[in-house]
Amino acid sequence: MARATGLAMSWEEWSRKDAIALAALIRRKQITAREVARQVAAGVERTDPKLAAVLEVFADVVRNPDADKPGKDGRLYGVPMFLKDLGSGLAGRKVESGSRLHKGDVAQSTDPNILNFLAAGLVPIGRATAPEFGMTFDTSTDYLGETKVTRNPWNLARTAGGSSGGSAAMVAARVTPVSMASDGGGSTRIPASFCGLVGLKATRGLVPRPWKQSEYMVRISAEGVVTRSVRDTAAIYDYITRVPNGGSFMNAARYRGSYLQAIRKDPPRLRIGLSTGSWGRPGKPDPEVAARVRDVAKLMAGLGHKVEEVDDRKICDWEQMWAGYYCQWINNRAQFGGRPTPAALEAVTPMVRRHMEAAERYDKYDIWKMMAQNNAVARGFGATMERYDLLLTPTLAIRVPEANGPYSLLRDEPLEPWLDRLADACRYTMPGNESGLPAISVPAGLDSEGLPIGAMFYGNFSREDLLLQVARQMERAKPEWFDQTAPVNVAATG
């Protein structure tokens, strides 16, 4: 401990603690929840001037971590987390969705998933950045009157990813061990990959949507967390898979046990399909990315699993997959207020404006066609998962790009080349959102520039337990991939 510095522990000691370890210290009364909250606030001061990942720290929570009533009997009581500035809200706290259209908006009620976080004992301590409406994986915004670019703790010239970029930057910089994420095209898995973290996207319908939404309205999105350890993700999923009765249009089958208990044992021998193919997009993935994923495949084979190459042309009808996904993606603007007014078009970022304008070309027949395409894609992936227990792919087809670069919503160019570029990069993540399958991104080492690369496992519907088991097995086999520290972190930043 380092109480002489005014903090509960040294930064070196702090940076080694995951959420379960911090919560254990609080339970044993070796540290208080208030001391932990104060240390997080100090960590933000040390790192955020470089990372631009935090919109606000809740001063009342720093003074009193019980302000929002986290469950004191929750397994993770006292562990702070940042809320993502998009999606589920906490009553009395802002949710601005990275947009001028919602600047100053305050949640009037607490959404079910936030209630789940509170039941786990987690302490929402602030709000982390997200790009406007989460419509890219580059977390750059301008709605606050100046350009705010969230940067990667591994290299400040590169993006932390998105749309959960602020959350990922804070976890990678070891300010907090866990933070809120959500994923409509890879927005949990992508920042996890870019920042060397664990990011699980759940089966459609497994995690509750906000009170005013359902999977029928937005079928592609699922909330979750980014963490540094597999066990933290497992522990949190024991709580966030609780859905209010009637609160899901597509209520997924629930795992009857504890995810945290499940990862205490290795998975059985698995059939793993390996793919670094095109997935219906032009070109190939970055060679370094493909090579790291093949290293993971060799590791899996060495652990006793059966790994075989998959012909990705047989996974699903890719033309239907991409047509249906594009229609859903472009028409997402309906959930943010319906048909935009001229004033709204003027208020949003250039590339969100392009999406809104493009949405006008779709009619009700396109929407029905999109639903039929989704049906075909989900059935195609379902048939594939009858042949394999898991699919192993890259998380992204690219390595970590520059911040406020080619994927930024602040660019001003025609929509088609911008969206094609985004989909080419996200060719492996977006199909998980369209099909509804669960998938987890795990660290797979560093590239030649010293930046993280993620590998991704797809599981069958409602098999998050198996995904977490194999991720934990991989973490035990390759701890150096999971426990690498970014150059910008609380222990290194003075």
pLDDT in tens, the chain (494 residues): 455 468 999 999 999 999 999 999 999 999 999 999 999 999 999 999 999 999 999 999 999 999 999 999 999 999 999 999 999 999 999 999 999 999 999 999 999 999 999 999 999 999 999 999 999 999 999 999 999 999 999 999 999 999 999 999 999 999 999 999 999 999 999 999 999 999 999 999 999 999 998 888 888 999 999 999 999 999 999 999 999 988 878 778 889 999 999 999 999 999 999 999 999 999 999 999 999 999 999 999 999 999 999 999 999 999 999 999 999 999 876 555 567 899 999 999 999 999 999 998 899 899 999 999 999 999 999 999 999 999 999 999 999 999 999 999 999 999 999 999 999 999 999 999 999 999 999 999 999 999 999 999 999 999 999 999 999 999 999 999 999 999 999 999 55
pLDDT of residue 3: 54
CA 424 to centroid of chain Cα atoms: 19
CA distance 99 to 55: 13
**How far apart, in Å, do the first and last CA atoms of the chain sit?**
19
Buried b / exposed e over 369-380, threshold 16 CB at 10 Å, is bbeebbeebbeb
pLDDT of residue 334: 56
What's the one-letter identity of residue 57?
V
Active site residue 88: no
CB 290 within 8 A of CB 284: yes
List Cα–Cα distances, 313 to 49, 91, 278, 310, 384, in angstroms: 46, 46, 9, 9, 11
pLDDT of residue 332: 76
Among candidates 195, 196, 213, 192, which has minimal Cα distance to 204?
213
pLDDT of residue 246: 82
Catalytic site residue from 15, 163, 179, 221: 163
pLDDT of residue 56: 98
CA distance 338 to 152: 34
pLDDT of residue 335: 56
CB 164 within 8 A of CB 193: no
Q: What is the reported pTM?
A: 0.97
What's the one-letter identity of residue 12?
E
pLDDT of residue 1: 47
Task: Give the largest CA-CA distance in the chain.
Answer: 67
Among candidates 211, 214, 213, 186, which has minimal Cα distance to 200?
186
**SS3 string of 161-202?**
CCCCHHHHHHHHCCCCCEEEEEECCCCCHHHHHHHCCEEEEC
Active site residue 212: no
Pairing mode of beta strands 452-459, 390-394: antiparallel
Catalytic site residue from 99, 187, 221, 229: 187
CA distance 66 to 353: 40
Q: For residue 213, give both structure tokens.
A: 């939404």
Catalytic site residue from 17, 84, 148, 201: 84
